[in-house]
Structure 1
Amino acid sequence: MKRNLYIGIDGGATKTKVRIEDADGCLLTEAQSGPGTIRTNVSKAWYAIIDGIQTALHKIDLDLYDQTHHYHVGLGLAGTEVAESCEEFLSQAHPFASIALKSDAYTACLGAHQGKEGGIIIIGTGTIGLKIEKGVVTTVGGWGFPHDDEGSGAWLGMEAIRLTLESIDHRREPSDFSKAIFRHFKKDLDHMVTWSNQALPTHFAELAPIVVEYVKRKNPDAIHLVERAGVAIARTYDALVKQSTLPKLPVSLLGGLSHSIEPWLPKRIRTRCKPPQGDATQGAILMIKKSEGFIV
């Protein structure tokens, strides 16, 4: 009799995380691979997912194509708001016994609240708010960059470029922060402008650590950017709460920049945010188990 194993996938713009559990919910292995977003390239996303799963399985001397296991996979992927990408992704042949696909924000929310009602705000390369309440999913933001994602890593990077260009042509006074951004491009204005016109959100987000570093150095320009990010995230929080029927909607802040932006949120929000109980890979496993009737 084949053994059931459950795979949780968290596929984002920069990396894909893999978690594999047995039927009792015991962690067997984990791994990471390349970007798993389906927004721009479905084939590359599938490659990253399979590569990550194989890497994880090989750690415990298993293989995705063996005949001794049923592999059930829950996928939380960035880019699911693009219907055509979802259709293309799900139309591909795969080796899994069952499959369930939702957004990475959805599975992150499931994991953060262990399948119970609640909300999340992800602050990473992009940003999105999402809540699950009485089985109904409500999202705020997350429409993509540059037309949305205010307060995200990509947005911080873009605003840092804008501020630096304004200092170069004397629309504002240069600061240690703007000089640091310019040094990142080896003080080559043509290179910086060309890069900015071609850069993807992940590229802009690579500048966010410079913003965070100069906030620590108390640079006014950098602080102004994270203050603006805090205002944007607060608007996302308020929009989630406004649409909730719960007396106190539990909300968790997630993503690589959440700890850097949280201090710049209003106190009323900071005191109500709750630490996540789990991550998006755990939420993806909860999702596939529920969709297959293994849990209620």
Structure 2
Amino acid sequence: MDFVIGIDGGGTRTRAWLTSLDGRVVSRGEAGGSNVHQKGVEASCRMLVEAVAMARTRASRSGVQLNARPRAVFAGVAGAGAVRDQRALEAALAPALLCHQENCTVDHDLRIALAGGLGGAPGLVIVAGTGSACYGRVSEGLSWKAGGWGPAVDDLGSGYWLGVESMRAVVQAADGRRMPTPLSDAVLTALGATTPREMIDRFRDATRSGMDRAVASALAPTVIGAAESGDHAALEILRRGAEALAAMATAVVERLAVDAPRLEQGVTAGGLLETEGFYFRLVREAVGRVLPGFALSAVRLPPVAGAVLLALEQALGALPAAVTENVAAAASGAAEPA
């Protein structure tokens, strides 16, 4: 069977889908995170290959006979915003997957999130997961990105940022700089700590072991839950995060409007914004205040499905509607492969 490979190389998880040329997903695989900035090219490539290997093994066990070479591979990899990283990953990934070099493409993960959200139509994607960024695309060669500079200086509105801000609120309430709220107890409980000092010690230990991003990001649902319950400290954090994400969207829209018609639609993606929940609504309101009339919705297809669509375009050119519908059916769970 001729097939293509779509890969979503995230910061904490890598997902691969193997898809027939009519868009039917025949197998899926997973591996650990593959952010190229965090892991380097060699380790990142290893996770990408591991996810595909799992999918191929599952396909074989279910009786699916795949050709040795995929027709095309498209991988969206966290941290792969620089062309040098993209080319280095392509050079390592193509031979490992037995793919012809010219048919193996690596881009940043925002590209596949946008492809899954708008199916190639002009627009932007606001991503808030462990990190954050906004990416807009009008056509080939005309795109812009705001944010995504990493947790040390950026990633505003992300899960990591929400977690750090919640811990900051805890220590400020503890020393009298702000009024205490139930958020403090919720954060301490989530971290298994009983005092702010113990909380700091636990986060310092996580930082030493390289788990600080995961630990801080895991606090984001606690912050959102507290805000939904009316905690004013948590709500203030979420509102600042939403405004930061809206500022990214504004930067992208204004920059692309210099050379093309003004973008009027966008989607959200990432663990915090993949559904139209409480934080999404705050982000949509913030975007509406700075970009009146802009249409923002949660992403319709996951980023890995966007990678599959881009791989299929690479193999086939313009995609028939039936192919896109088959990919969407797999993404919605209507068609569950191995």
TM-score (norm 1): 0.88
Q: Distance in 2 between matches of 1:105 and 1:67?
A: 29
Could you say which residue in structure 1 is the equivalent of 2:146? 140
Could you say which residue in structure 2 is the equivalent of 1:51? 50
Do residues 278 (structure 1) and 301 (structure 2) align? yes
Please list every run of 5 or more consecutive structure 1 residues that lacks an aligned counterpart in the other structure.
none
Which structure 2 residues correspond to residues 195-274 of structure 1 after superposition, within 5 A? 195-197=202-204, 198=207, 199-243=211-255, 244=257, 245-258=260-273, 259-265=277-283, 266=285, 268=288, 272-274=295-297
3-state secondary structure, aligned to 2:16 = strand
State whether residues 228 and 278 of structure 2, in contact with CA within 8 Å, keep that contact through their aligned partners in structure 1.
no
Q: Report the AA paired with residue 238 of structure 2.
A: V
Q: Report the AA paired with residue 7 of structure 1.
A: I
1:281 CA displacement: 1.7
State whether residues 229 and 261 of structure 1, in contact with CA within 8 Å, keep that contact through their aligned partners in structure 2.
no
Which structure 2 residues correspond to residues 43-192 of structure 1 after superposition, within 5 A? 43-61=42-60, 68-71=67-70, 72-82=72-82, 85-92=85-92, 93-98=95-100, 99-135=104-140, 136-183=142-189, 184-192=191-199
Q: Distance in 2 between matches of 1:54 and 1:273?
A: 36
TM-score (norm 2): 0.78
User: For this pair of structures, how many residues does the alignment match?
Assistant: 291
Q: Distance in 2 between matches of 1:289 and 1:264?
A: 35
Q: Distance in 2 between matches of 1:126 and 1:194?
A: 23
Of stretches 169-178 and 147-156 in structure 1, the one that deviates more from structure 2 is: 169-178
Could you say which residue in structure 1 is the equivalent of 2:317? 295
State whether residues 123 and 263 of structure 2, in contact with CA within 8 Å, keep that contact through their aligned partners in structure 1.
no
Could you say which residue in structure 1 is the equivalent of 2:32? 34
Measured against aligned partners, the alpha-carbon deviations of 1:176-209 in whole angstroms (never above 9, x if no partner) come to: 1112212324225444223434153232101111
Measured against aligned partners, the alpha-carbon deviations of 1:112-144 in whole angstroms (never above 9, x if no partner) come to: 111222211111111111111122121111111
State whether residues 21 and 28 of structure 1, in contact with CA within 8 Å, keep that contact through their aligned partners in structure 2.
yes
Q: 1:68 to 1:87 in 2, by over 3 A?
A: closer
Q: Distance in 2 between matches of 1:67 and 1:77?
A: 25
Q: Distance in 1 between matches of 2:126 and 2:81?
A: 17
Q: 1:180 to 1:275 in 2, by over 3 A?
A: closer
Q: Distance in 2 between matches of 1:67 and 1:150?
A: 43
Q: Distance in 1 between matches of 2:112 and 2:203?
A: 32
Q: Distance in 2 between matches of 1:237 and 1:91?
A: 33
Amino-acid identity (%): 22
3-state secondary structure, aligned to 1:40 = helix
Q: Report the AA paired with residue 262 of structure 1.
A: F
Q: 1:277 to 1:213 in 2, by over 3 A?
A: closer
Stretches of 4+ aligned residues off by more than 6 angstroms: none
Q: 1:290 to 1:128 in 2, by over 3 A?
A: same
